[in-house]
Amino acid sequence: MVNDQSTQTTHAIGLKAKAAVKDLSFYYGTTKVLKSVNLPVPEHQVTALIGPSGCGKTTLLRCFNRLHDLYPGNRYEGEILLDGAVNILGRNIDPIEVRMRISMVFQRPNPFPKSIYENVAYGLRVRGEAKRSVVDAKVEHALRSAALWDEVKDRLNELAYNLSGGQQQRLCIARALATDPELILFDEPTSALDPIATKNIEDLMASLKEQVTILIVTHSMQQAARLSDYTAFMYLGEMVEFNQTQTLFNQPQHKQTEDYVQGRFG
Ligand SMILES: Nc1ncnc2c1ncn2[C@@H]1O[C@H](COP(=O)(O)OP(=O)(O)OP(=O)(O)O)[C@@H](O)[C@H]1O
């Protein structure tokens, strides 16, 4: 359906695309679920992916950090360019390195069965960072950025499972931040949380975009409208429309987008 006009939209308002999806198709085995998708992800902005159940939002999100590589039979066509240069789907690119630059926070908090400290230090250890003072500093910085430090600084050696659901999700965000990623992917990060924990995570995302670029899948149009700068509407594996969030909700260019944002289907 649409478009490289999406790329032009961001260029028109002078924002750099941190990542750009170019003619991306994706297959689970022989089933094609993404169809020539194009999408810019503007740097230091929050971009929301919305659309009815099964339209391919999570599938698209998972392409960004090569999660589909973990299962045989999955196939990508097209490119996702990081900083306009590196195609992260390229065969010569190491998925582990991609996941250091592009980290992910999942729907349900999924801390490892380790201490609070070791959860955050995990990616640093994978990267080979052994110096205690460096790991300490990065763990503290990540926990502060995730607005969790004050709540956990005296219990860093406790098991992460002792934290509340909202705290566990902020811990997962701290874990995602610890390796200094450039882009963080959020897959419905608040769907398992109560309203107060949801608000904490939304406030956190608004503050995080100074350091990182954010791409979030959400089922909630209200959430997309509250916290994203840009929104992309998908339908049946196609990218129907991408625009500034206010424009997409108030002046959609496509009938399908209008019907969806007005709650006529989905
Ligand atoms: N592992 C898989 N193997 C085969 N098909 C899959 C797999 N995962 C998802 N699909 C199919 O791919 C399509 C897109 O699914 P996806 O989960 O990306 O949609 P979604 O928009 O994120 O949906 P939801 O909002 O319900 O989470 C659906 O038809 C789904 O059934």
Ligand 1: atom nearest CA of 219 is 25
The reply to whether ligand 1 has any atom less than 6 angstroms from the CB of 28 is yes
The residue behind tokens 């750009």 is 20
The reply to whether ligand 1 has any atom less than 6 angstroms from the CB of 53 is yes
The reply to whether ligand 1 has any atom less than 6 angstroms from the CB of 59 is yes
ipTM: 0.97
The reply to whether ligand 1 has any atom less than 6 angstroms from the CB of 62 is no
57 pLDDT band (50/70/90 cuts)?
very high
253 pLDDT band (50/70/90 cuts)?
very high
Q: Does residue 197 register a pLDDT over 90?
A: no
> How many angstroms does the Cα of residue 116 sit away from the middle of ligand 1?
32
Q: Does residue 3 register a pLDDT over 60?
A: no
- Decide if 206 contacts 178 (C-beta within 8 A): no
Query: Distance (Å, rounded) from C-alpha 96 to C-alpha 101?
Result: 9
- The protein residue with its alpha carbon nearest to ligand 1, atom 7, reads 28
10 pLDDT band (50/70/90 cuts)?
low
User: pTM higher than 0.90 for the full model?
Assistant: yes
Domains and CATH numbers, the chain: 5-111+180-261 (3.40.50.300)
2 pLDDT band (50/70/90 cuts)?
very low
The reply to whether ligand 1 has any atom less than 6 angstroms from the CB of 245 is no
Q: Are strands 46-50 and 31-42 parallel, antiparallel or unpaired?
A: unpaired
Q: What is the pLDDT of residue 127?
A: 86
* Ligand 1 pocket: which of 34, 49, 57 to mutate (most atoms within 8 A of CB): 57
Ligand 1: atom nearest CA of 56 is 18
Phi/psi at 125 (5° precision): -70, -40
Question: pLDDT exceeding 70 applies to what percent of the chain?
Answer: 95
Quickly list H helices, the chain.
Answer: 5-12, 57-63, 95-101, 116-126, 132-145, 149-152, 165-177, 195-208, 221-227, 245-250, 255-261
* Ligand 1 pocket: which of 26, 27, 31, 33 to mutate (most atoms within 8 A of CB): 33
- The protein residue with its alpha carbon nearest to ligand 1, atom 9, reads 59
Q: Enumerate residues 6+ apart whose C-beta is below 8 A from 132.
A: none
Residue-wise pLDDT tens digits, 90-104: 989 998 888 889 999
As a whole number, mean pLDDT of residues 183-198 equals 92
The reply to whether ligand 1 has any atom less than 6 angstroms from the CB of 54 is yes
Ligand 1: atom nearest CA of 234 is 21
Q: Does residue 78 register a pLDDT over 80?
A: yes
Query: Distance (Å, rounded) from C-alpha 113 to C-alpha 122?
Result: 11
As a whole number, mean pLDDT of residues 118-134 equals 93
Q: What is the pLDDT of residue 193?
A: 87
The reply to whether ligand 1 has any atom less than 6 angstroms from the CB of 73 is no
